[in-house]
């Protein structure tokens, strides 16, 4: 059966709630814990929102074995050189359990509120392609110089270098972004809400992998469904997603977190 992780809602939740459910997920043997990378709630701008990387750092101390990462970090929120350093630090704090989920952004209202010029979609994808080259280069632990259209670095370095290097999981739905995931990344995450487009997405992924001389072997293809998509019949849902070719389900859950129901899902996953 495919691995199961959970993306914990940071809208309207306290850190104490998030920590409690993350510890339970860890204790129950699930694969991973993720959080969204948003600064403000789209439900109500006054609704409390936990910042992504600060939360992950706390969870690195609160858990023992689950993988930890953003689903997904918005490339327009941080310069990729600085993001590489942030992720390298989380890798150190977590004892090697960091995964970097990364996307090109697109929630314009949030960016405007914080004075971030995210630009048009074409620009964001161009920036994203450069970020996918910059981040692993900095993780090498050697000085990195990069002269791109959007980003310029001179002898940037991450010391200590993350060991092992975190996997990069791209969140995408467009063919160009999926092609970049196939070329540069370790995995691709697709949203279950767009399942009617999966045939085109799978075709773009396979074409991109072939062009890069790769196959799906060793490539992480994960799905981002909601709790309501899993909870009614976990065994059926997980079997369906596995048949479709997914390697992991990263299920979104929000507060109040379904603690007792998670124990039932764990029994299904463990057979």
Q: Which residues contact 127 (CB under 8 A, 6 or more apart)?
A: 75, 76, 104, 119, 150, 151
Residue 134 pLDDT: 98
- 3-state class of 50 per DSSP? coil
Q: Measured between alpha carbons, how far is 13 from 23 in angstroms, rounded to an integer?
A: 15
| H or E element that contains 191 | strand 187-191
Q: Are 25 and 251 spatial neighbours (Cβ–Cβ below 8 Å)?
A: no
Write down the pLDDT at residue 235.
Answer: 96
Burial class (CB in 10 A: 0-12, 13-18, 19+), 89: middle
Q: Where along the chain do its domains lie?
A: 3-269
Q: What is the pLDDT of residue 1?
A: 84
Going by C-beta distance under 8 Å and a sequence separation of 6 or more, which residues neighbour residue 44? none
Q: Does domain 3-269 bear CATH number 3.40.640.10?
A: no
Per-residue tens of pLDDT for the chain, all 271 residues: 899 999 999 999 999 999 999 999 999 999 999 999 999 998 999 999 999 999 999 999 999 999 999 999 999 999 999 999 999 999 999 999 999 999 998 788 888 898 988 889 899 999 999 999 999 999 999 999 999 999 999 999 999 999 999 999 999 999 999 999 999 999 999 999 999 999 999 999 999 999 999 999 999 999 999 999 999 999 999 999 999 999 999 999 999 999 999 999 999 998 7
Q: Tell me, what's the pLDDT at 5?
A: 98
Query: Quick one: pLDDT at residue 144?
Result: 97
Residue among 224, 226, 269, 221 nearest 246 (CA): 221
Cis-peptide, bond into residue 72, ω within 30° of zero: yes
d(CA 221, CA 215): 12
What per-residue confidence (pLDDT) applies to 106?
A: 77
Nearby residues of 22 by Cβ (< 8 Å), 6 or more positions away: 8, 33, 59, 62, 63, 66
């Amino acid at each position: 059966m495919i691995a199961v992780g959970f993306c914990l809602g940071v809208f309207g939740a306290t850190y104490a709630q998030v920590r409690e459910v993350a510890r339970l997920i860890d204790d129950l043997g699930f694969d991973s814990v993720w959080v969204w990378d948003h600064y403000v709630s789209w439900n109500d701008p006054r609704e409390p929102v936990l910042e992504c990387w600060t939360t992950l750092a706390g969870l690195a101390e609160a858990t023992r074995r689950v993988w930890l990462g953003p689903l997904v970090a918005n490339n327009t929120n941080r310069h990729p050189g600085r993001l590489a350093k942030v992720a390298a630090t989380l890798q150190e704090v977590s004892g090697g359990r960091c995964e970097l989920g990364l996307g090109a952004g697109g929630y314009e209202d949030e960016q405007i509120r914080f004075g971030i010029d995210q630009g048009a979609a074409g620009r964001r994808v161009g920036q994203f392609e450069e970020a996918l080259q910059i981040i692993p280069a900095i993780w090498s632990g050697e000085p990195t110089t990069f002269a791109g259209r959007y980003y310029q670095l001179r002898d940037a370095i991450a010391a200590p270098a993350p060991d092992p290097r975190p996997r990069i999981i791209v969140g995408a739905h467009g063919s160009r972004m999926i092609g970049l995931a196939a070329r540069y990344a370790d995995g691709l995450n697709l949203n279950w809400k767009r399942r009617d487009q999966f045939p085109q997405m799978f075709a773009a992924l396979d074409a991109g992998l072939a062009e890069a001389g790769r196959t799906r072997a060793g490539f992480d293809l994960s799905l981002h469904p909601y709790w309501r998509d899993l909870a009614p019949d976990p065994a059926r849902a997980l079997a369906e997603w596995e048949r479709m070719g997914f390697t992991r389900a990263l299920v979104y859950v929000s507060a109040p977190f379904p603690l007792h129901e998670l124990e039932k899902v764990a029994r299904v996953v463990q057979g």
